[in-house]
Chains A and B, each alone.
Chain A
């Protein structure tokens, strides 16, 4: 799987939007961009994924650059329960997930 680069940590205030960046300059045409998050003492959970177009779901939005070399996970209103490590992962069909270091998001009340 191609490599992704994320900041080690970010801080946000509660009820403010959060933009979590991810660089993936070596992405191939068949790679999907997946985001998972891991809350403290839990297994990772799926957040969102996309290929080329921006995506929205009940948890978040995913903005994908036109050249697909970067993407941004957007949490529209951070809550304390959103404090977690967020992983950006490139995925080709049927393979295991290759987790990098992720971004540790801290949310301040």
Chain B
């Protein structure tokens, strides 16, 4: 079946503009995660959705960042008034719920969206 898909694959924007990044998780996966990876760095957690529970927003770096998820499907990460330090690859991952996955909660990652803020 299809894996996690993300769009666009690349986005170049000007400082101060808003951007929306999209993630389509694997069908049936109730958990969805957003991460950010700056050049040459590891991944930073941003936000986590699990079913109908309130999302875990503890990783969002500022109030310019927000994310929504429609039911247990598509998610959109929005960055308002982009800054140059927002330039990074934004990665989305999905997984089954812990209990349904049994032993572990393997995350499946999309290819990422490379955001460049000029």
Contacts and interface: CB of A to CB of B under 8 A. Distances in A.
A96 B48 contact: yes
B112 A97 contact: no
A97 B92 CA distance: 12
A97 B42 contact: no
A7 B108 CA distance: 25
Contacts of B31: 94
SS of A interface (majority): loop
A44 interface: yes
A102 B110 contact: no
Contact of A94 (B45, B98, B103, B109): B98
B56 interface: yes
B42 A96 contact: no
A46 B42 contact: no
B33 interface: yes
Interface of B: 4, 31, 33, 35, 42-45, 48, 50, 56, 59, 91, 93, 97-98, 103-112
Interface of A: 32, 34, 36, 42-46, 49, 51, 87, 91, 93-102
